Structure 1
Amino acid sequence: MPFFLSADEGERFCLYHEPEPGVAPRGAILYVHPFAEELNKSRRMVSLQARAYAQAGYGVLQIDLYGCGDSSGELSKARWDIWLADLARAWQWLAERHLGPRYLWGLRLGALLALDFAVGARPQALILWQPALSGRAHLNQFARLQSAARLFAGAPAVEQGTEIAGYLMPPALSAAINQLDAGALTPRCPVQWLELNLPPLDAGTDYGASAEAQAALQPASALLIDRWRSDGAVVHAVPLHGEPFWISTDIGVVPSLLEASSAALEIA
């Protein structure tokens, strides 16, 4: 069900997947999308997963944040606090559906935004797809695509907007993202961490059971998860082999991630 959610700065485009008719409601999930073109590249996978969650009895709300997708505003005027306010409105909208416990699901930079929002929202659990570990490092990845990494290599924020991957970033937004560190956002709820890695070159393109047995977390992810656990967090990490659909040339689908995500929520 598509609709627009009223906000202080225009409207936000939303897509809501109701729990499957005849299935007892089990909760509600708010999806937090990634940044820039990764949002568009991931829509197919997110849609498939949202439908799977709905079939299992969850209401799933997707929201395009201010200046993103089909929502009001320009990214050049976006701010981190506006995005947090957008999530707060969506979170309240889900609460009014009275479906049960609420969960946050984020992809890439959206996972980092979900972690930041979770500090006050206190979700039942977090579902993190390929989370960005550092806002600065994440923007550097985009900057390198256009040979602009020097703009985010510790230099102070410039007074003019900076173009990243074809998107004009306001200084306040880039500065806020640069300061984000997942290590400082230890979650106080269970976390389902799902991460994709390409298989070894000699493993071919078969992402079946034999390949999954060899999948491992990226070293930086493993270190962060260990740090969270030492700080009391409960993290269930699932490494998988698969194509990074959020940056692939074609619209990619990773069935193993869909299956693992549905199974992970069962134990959240």
Structure 2
Amino acid sequence: MNAAVNINPFFLPTPLGHLFCMYSTPVNAPIRAKVIYLHPFAEEMHKSRRMAALQARQCAAAGIAVLQLDLTGCGDSWGDFGDARWERWKADVFCAIDWLNNETNNDTSLFIWGLRLGGMLAVDCAKQLPNIAGMILWQPIINGELFINQFLRIKLASEMLSEGQARIGTRQLREQLTAGESVEIGGYFLAAELAQTIATLRLEQMTPFCPIIWIDIVAGAESLPIPAQQKVIQEWKNNGCHLYTRYVVGEPFWMTQEISECPALLTATMEMMEQILQ
């Protein structure tokens, strides 16, 4: 898209500290919808910044304002990663939505867009936001406990590479977290409270009641969704959730060695948002 957009970086004050935000809006055109973006976890956030920025610009060019938010302890917001807590992140989201609503007409359709763990956070926040127009979920985390276990394995893999063997196993790391101790994983200090909360979350138990755009990246056109994902989607549909699902071919940019893009994901997101906004 060639339409001009405004990109405004700023710090949003909250009761605990300032949150870094990027606000993308159309130039000389009305705002017909608004979106708040919730980033993924730890290093995945940094790997995903380019894709988030590209999508925000495409949305703004189409008249959809986008607020990108760095949560507490992440990116350029206040605090260290060890200060992060799930309920604190939810409070960050609600503060940002209040700001976004004040900046725009309250009747303007509001969407929450989340990538990976940000998708799970979006679904959890939506329970307290009955009037949102919809959610955009990019490759959402399905099972919080499995996700935390995978994150802990990063430490084991790092020790294997540097020392030839891991000094401690996943079970021992989980025991430390259960005992209330923080653990350091890849330069991130993971608080026990945050890990324990995430581990309790299951998407199949969190049916949202707004239209959902769910897009996953797959390796090839013949790839099939994983059974756990199919189970969640079917459970949501059984509970009355209206889902728009799509699979696009591309690289998992949140974990690639180099910063990468997935143009098909950008295109699919815009197409599916237009379906809801019509």
Same fold, TM-score > 0.5, yes or no: yes
Worse-matched range after superposition: 125-134 or 152-161: 152-161
Matches within 5 A, 1:28-177: 28-99=34-105, 100-122=108-130, 123-147=132-156, 148-151=169-172, 157-177=178-198
Partner of 1:3: 10
Farther off after superposition, 57-66 or 71-80: 71-80
Q: Hey, what does 2:215 align to over in structure 1?
A: 194
Is the CA contact 1:139–1:152 (under 8 Å) kept in the aligned structure 2? no
Tell me, in whole angstroms, the C-alpha distance in 2 between the residues paired with 1:86 and 1:186: 22
Q: Is the 8 A contact 1:30 1:60 kept in 2?
A: yes
One-letter amino acid of the structure 1 residue matched with residue 190 of structure 2: M
The aligned counterpart of 1:205 is none
| 3-state SS of 1:248 partner | coil
Q: Contact (CA 8 Å) 1:136, 1:152: kept in 2 or not?
A: no
Corresponding position of 1:219: 227
Partner of 2:203: 182
Q: Which of 241, 248, 257 is the matching residue for 1:249?
A: 257
Contact 1:126–1:190 at 8 Å: present in 2 too? Answer: yes
- Alpha-carbon distance, 1:156 to partner: 6.5
SS in 2 for 1:111: helix
CA distance in 2, matches of 1:57, 1:235: 23
Runs of 5+ in structure 1 lacking a partner? 200-210
Instruction: Tell me if structure 1 keeps the 8 A contact 2:177–2:192.
Output: no
**Following the alignment from structure 2 to structure 1, what is the Cα–Cα distance between the partners of residues 175 and 237?**
29
**Distance in 1 between the 2:261 and 2:74 partners?**
23
TM, length-normalised to structure 1: 0.90
CA displacement 1:26-62 (0-9 Å, x = unmatched): 1110000000000000000000000000011111001
> How far did 1:184 drift?
1.2
Match of 2:32 in 1: 26
Letter in structure 2 aligned against 1:33 = H
| Counterpart Cα distance in 2 of 1:4 and 1:175 | 29
Deviations 1:191-226 (A, max 9, x none): 000001112xxxxxxxxxxx4xx3432222111101
In structure 1, C-alpha distance between the alignment counterparts of 2:214 and 2:176, rounded to whole Å: 32
Q: Report % sequence identity.
A: 39
Aligned length: 254
Matched, 1:13 2:20: yes
Q: Alpha-carbon deviation of 1:153?
A: 6.0
CA distance in 1 between counterparts of 2:10 and 2:238 reads 42
Answer whether contact 1:191 1:234 (CA < 8 A) is retained: yes
Give, as a single letter, the amino acid of the residue that structure 2 aligns with 1:15: M
* 1:156-186 CA distance string (max 9 Å, x none): 6122201233311111111111111111110
The residue identity in structure 1 corresponding to 2:218 is: N
Q: Which runs of 5+ in 2 are unaligned?
A: 1-7, 157-168
